[in-house]
Amino acid sequence: MNPRNTVDSGQAAGKIDRCRMVELPEHSDPRGLLTVVEGGKDVDFDIKRAYFIHHVPENVARGAHGHRRLRQLIIAMHGSFEVIVDDGFEKERFVLDHPSRGLYVVPMIWRDMVNFTPDAVGLWLVSEPYDESEYYRDYAEFLRDARASR
């Protein structure tokens, strides 16, 4: 685990203060920058899946869901967007606007992605294969479970 970025797992999953910006290791030389994300080192999970979101129309929000088990690192590869995380008690807004900084999000967090610039490309590195049954799509159901788990 990179000591600058240590992110831990376990009991406190679902608390908003476990969601944080992670500085990714950059390798700079006259040819430019190379940024690395290594599962189990820069993030505390094995990366099982990657997906990216782009060409989001103006004023369109994405997300509006939570995950029961999934951990993720969200990176704005180009352009910028904002992620609002919500643990059922508190909310926090993060601006993602640099490809060497990612937002680490633990399970049991509701998230909304807003204010995508027209050129935004977001990359999601996640800990689980795609499984729709692992999502919360209903905010009332998420809130009930998130609050019951404290």
**Which positions lie near ligand T46, rule CB under 6 A?**
49, 51, 53, 62-63, 65, 113, 124, 130
Structure tokens given for 60: 């369109």
Q: Which of 54, 65, 78, 98 does the annotation list as catalytic?
A: 65
Measuring CA to CA, which residue among 67, 80, 75 is closest to residue 21?
Answer: 75
Q: Specify whether the CB–CB gap between 14 and 107 falls below 8 A.
A: yes
Q: In angstroms, what is the minimal distance from the CB of 56 to ligand T46?
A: 9
For ligand T46, the closer of residues 27 and 137 by Cβ is 137
Nearest C-alpha neighbor of 67 from the set 40, 54, 48, 95: 48
CB of 89 to ligand T46, least distance (A): 21
Shortest gap between Cβ of 72 and ligand T46 (angstroms)? 6
Looking up tokens 């490809």, which residue turns up? 99
Q: Is 65 among the catalytic positions? A: yes
Contact between 49 and 129 (Cβ < 8 Å): yes
Rank residues 21 and 25 by Cβ distance to ligand T46 and give the closer one. 21
Between 62 and 101, whose beta carbon lies closer to ligand T46?
A: 62
Positions annotated as catalytic residues are 65
